[in-house]
Every structure is written in C-alpha cells, then in structure tokens.
Amino acid sequence: QFGSVITALCQKSQFSIRAPVKIANSFYLKNENYKDVSYKSVNIETLEKELWSKHASSYFAYKGYDRIFKLFESEDYIALEKKFNTMWSLDIANCFDSIYTHTISWAIKNKEFVKTNLNKGKQFSEELDKIIQRSNNNETNGIPIGAEFSRVFAELIFQSIDRNIIIKLKEVYGCTCKIHYQVLRYVDDYFIFAVNQDIAQHVYGVISDELAKYNLYLGDKKLSKIERPFLTSKSEMVIEAKKILKFFDEKIFSDRSRNCNENEVKSKVNYIYRSEKLIKSILDLIKSRCSESNDGYQNVAPYLISAFAKRIRRLVELYKAEDDKESLSEFYEAIIIIIKIMFFFHNIKPSVSSSNRLAKSIAIVQKFFIKESEIFLDKFKDMIMTELRNMRFSKNNVELREGFTSIEKMNVILATSDFGENYLMDEMQIKEALSNVNNYNYFFIISLLYYYKDHNVYEKNRKAVECIIDEKFDSSFDLEKDSELAHLFLDCMSCKYISLHFREKWYKKFLSKFSLQRQQAEIESDLSYLLTKYWFVKWEQKNMLNLLERKELRTAY
C-alpha cells in the first residue's frame, strides 16, 4: 500500500549507503541457458541482481552495499581516501531498542506539525507507527530487531536525521558535504571522512546532537579514529585472509588447457596427499595473523566461513563440468578439508549467519554425493557426525544466564536431520546438548521436534517436549498478544510428530478460548485437515538445502 511512498522518502539522504529504492521484482528463468542456481546463495535484493534471483529475497530492491565489508573493497572507498585525510567510525548504541515509534511522524512531517495536527485524521506516518507497535506488543519504546520492515522503519527516521545534520553543519560551521567532509551511513553505523580532525569533530558533535533529538545516542565502544592510510583492523584482517585463501586455492586448484587445440583454460582439482597437514598449515597461517591483532578471530572467522562456503559450491560445479568422472576422490578430499576448516572457525567463533553457511554447505555436499557416490556419501556423513561429537556443547556465559542452547549449534545439528537412522545423535549427546536448558523457546522446541521426527529412538524425548509445550499453554494461552505462543500453537497443530492426545487437547483449548463450538467428529476432522497444511514450518520438508536456502533469504538488510 505504501511501497512507493516509502521508497520516495528513502531517497532524501546523501549519507545512506543502504536504502530501499523500489519494490523488488523476481522471476525464475527456466531454459537451458539459465545457470542452475540450486547451489547458489541468495541474498537481499540489489538493483543489479534482482531480476536474476530464483526467489524474491526481500520486498524492496536496495541501493548500495548488502555487506559493510564490500564498502571497504569498493572504488568509492578508494576515492574517499584520495579526498579526505581522516576517517572516524561510530555507531548508535542499542539502536532498535531505543527508537521511539512516534518519532516516525516527527521524521516524516516534523515534530511541530504533528503536534498541531493530532486530530486531522489518519496519516501515513501514523499507520506505520501503529503497524510497528502492533508487531511489538503495542510498545512505543523499541522496535523488533531483525525484520526487514523494522530496518526500513528506522531508515525513514535516519533519512530525516541525515538531512538535518547537513543543514546544521552548513549553518553553524560553514561545512559543505562532499567538500569539507563526507558521511556514509550503513543502517546505524556511521563513517565520517573529513579533511582534518577538527572538522571530523564538528561532524561527530552534530551527529550526536541530532540523534539526541530522537532519543538516540552514539556508543563509545566502537568509536575509532584513523588517518590515511584508511585501514581498519577488520579490513586489514580481510586482506590477510585473502592472501591465505589464495595460498589455499593454489594447493587445491590448478589450471590446465582443455586440449591442445583450445586456448580455453579449465580449473582442475589437485589430489591432496596429506590433508591434515594442509589444514594445519592454513590454520597456523590464520592464527599467526590473528595473534598480531587485538580482535583475535572476531573479524576474520565469519569472512573465512563465507569464503570457504563459496569454494564448496565451486567444487560441486567443477565436478559437474568435469569430463573425467574418475577423479571424484580428489573432489572428496578437497571438500573434507574445507568442511573441517569451516567447523573449526564455527566452533571458536559461532554466529547465526556462519552456522547457516556451514549447514548449507553440508546440505550441498550431501546432495552432491547422493547423486555421485554412495560410498563417499557414507564417508562424508561419518566425518560430519564426528565433527558434531567434537563440537563444544558446553554453555557460554550467555547460555548459562538465559538457560538456552544457541541457535548456532542447533542449525548445524539440523543440517544432519535427514542423514538417516544410522546417523542420529545418540542419547548422551542429546542430553549434553540439553543440559541446563531452562527456557524452551519456540525455536528450540520446533528444532527438536524437527530433528526427532518420528524416530523410535527419540520417543521419550518427544514426549518430554510435548509435556513442556503443554506446560507453556497451561501457564499462558494468550495467542492474540503473544506471537511466540501463536507460532508454537499453529505449528504444533500441523505437526504429525506430536501425539493426537496433545494436539486434540490444545485444539479444544483454542476452541474454548474463542468460544467456538465443534462436535467431536468435527474436531477429529479438523485435526486431520490441519496435518495437511503448514504454517511456519514445513514438517514434510524433504530437501534440507531448500529449507536452508529460504533461511538465507532472510539475511539482514
């Protein structure tokens, strides 16, 4: 309804390097010339690639950069270093939690106009305000974190703040944007480029003042100031990581001519005779670089996991184009090396995005070996289960405090959910993973049910989860206000792994709450029908790769 208005309002800032510019288009080209995207990652839409996506990954198409590190690798960044002497990096502290929803009206109309027109009927900004409140239990302080709409909502506010900053700097200090300074803003991260430190300080002060008018404040922890050359600790580590990746590629891949009559060069996968030695060499190189940085693995681990995930796809695509199908052992060794390195970095620096990439890589390789070799498939599954057994399940400080098992661990476990009966985690591993878990939230419950499925070995575990769900519904069944309970109820109604006894009990609870009358025969018919539909989880999902691909569509804006 408001798509075109939102995109128009998001074109006012000279600072923003990530903003919606149009409603995204997406279609799937089905012809022999269209490159298979079954192994491709899909991210938030950009203008350049929106028409080539298999799925619509976001409602809007965006200008700018979908990852902040891409800014530091761009020609724009080089041009800024040519022009300005100093660079400051800063961010807003607790940004989304601090946004006051009514400020959307101040940003779009201005505060004085809103106050004098409170009774003039519904306005566009009021509709947005109401929507964001409804999505957050009618709270006016803070907006939901993670949703695309939340980030667009915040962008509308920041667009107005950006314009005010430019005006204030011109009026008070005579500083002109793109002459004396330039500011780039990626969501709530600011990068100030200035001709000298004094002007940078002026810009910093004005940004702080204008944010304060919206009850937003800059954080001190991420503030950094550097002079040319513009090299942040993160970009420095990425540069070093690229050198190591080049060394790795030289060990794994080599180029060869397709035949004597052709100049076309084709990559070949080398056989690695001592794979563990190569893994240690790569890890030692990375450790050596990280030891020189105060950030440790923080800046490099996610980048490396992403880079190695791309190499998994490259290996699979290379084999599909390979003439000599007898070389599968070389591909297997290369794949195992990469997966083990990915496990290492995920284990020491886990993140949700990295766990998704690792899980997706596992699913890609599984699909590949299902088609190419049952022998290598079994060896691959054995290796993955060994890595899972070695994965740390000990709770970190956050988990001990909150009493939950992290998403990062569950994502990787779920990647093995369709390995088959012979590759299930044993009872001891499950108990270890669940130890000290006090908060069985929606994600955790659904993940367990998805993993347990109807395997006989997990019958006791399923019953335990059913009792936990039942206790949740007994303590609170406010489906209209509690989104987590509503999600849980709906997904349980469509889950064939939950016993009929509990599904019927919860359905009758639902009918009673909303004063709905149904005969027993109708209730039984309803419950059977609900098993044929799905809400937020496809319990019948056969292809883990497709599931993970859809998860990747929800990458942060």
Which residues are paired to 218 by β-bridges?
92
DSSP labels, 298-356: TTTHHHHHHHHHHHHHHHHHHHHT-S-GGGHHHHHHHHHHHHHHHHHHHHHS--HHHHH
* Residue 543, pLDDT score: 60
| pTM of structure | 0.79
Classify 94 in phi/psi space as left (phi over 0), alpha (psi -120 to 50) or beta: left
Angle 58-63-67 (CA atoms, 0-180°, nearest 5)?
Answer: 75
- CA distances (Å), 181 to each of 3, 74, 103, 172, 359, in order? 32, 19, 27, 14, 43
Take residue 323 and report the two structure tokens written for it: 């003439």
Residues of the chain with CATH 3.30.70.270: 72-227
SS3 384: helix
- CA distances (Å), 419 to each of 38, 318, 370, 384, 540, in order? 19, 25, 11, 10, 15
Closest CA relative to residue 434, chosen from 404, 462, 458, 396? 404
Angle 18-22-26 (CA atoms, 0-180°, nearest 5)?
Answer: 105
Alpha helix (H) residue ranges in 415-556: 427-434, 442-452, 459-475, 483-493, 500-513, 520-530, 544-552
C-alpha span between 92 and 55 (Å, rounded): 33
Classify 92 in phi/psi space as left (phi over 0), alpha (psi -120 to 50) or beta: beta
C-alpha span between 256 and 88 (Å, rounded): 47
Closest CA relative to residue 60, chosen from 42, 43, 49, 46? 46
Q: What superfamily would CATH give domain 72-227?
A: Reverse transcriptase/Diguanylate cyclase domain (3.30.70.270)
Residues in contact with 515: Cβ distance below 8 Å, sequence separation at least 6, in sequence order: none
C-alpha span between 366 and 233 (Å, rounded): 36
| Averaged pLDDT in 10-residue chunks for the chain of 557 residues | 82 90 59 40 44 55 83 92 97 92 83 53 77 83 82 92 97 97 95 98 98 94 91 85 95 67 63 92 92 79 94 91 74 96 92 91 95 94 92 52 61 90 84 66 90 92 95 94 93 97 98 96 97 91 61 49
Take residue 185 and report the two structure tokens written for it: 């803003």
* Residue 520, pLDDT score: 97
pLDDT digits 0-9 by tens, 466-509: 999 999 999 999 998 888 999 999 999 999 999 999 999 999 99
Take residue 190 and report the two structure tokens written for it: 């600011």
- CA distances (Å), 430 to each of 389, 391, 395, in order? 10, 13, 14
Strands 265-269 and 181-186: unpaired
Strands 181-186 and 224-227: unpaired
DSSP 36: P
Residues in contact with 56: Cβ distance below 8 Å, sequence separation at least 6, in sequence order: 24, 25, 26, 45
* Residue 167, pLDDT score: 97
**Preceding omega of 229 cis (within 30 degrees of 0):** yes
* Residue 462, pLDDT score: 94
C-alpha span between 163 and 106 (Å, rounded): 13
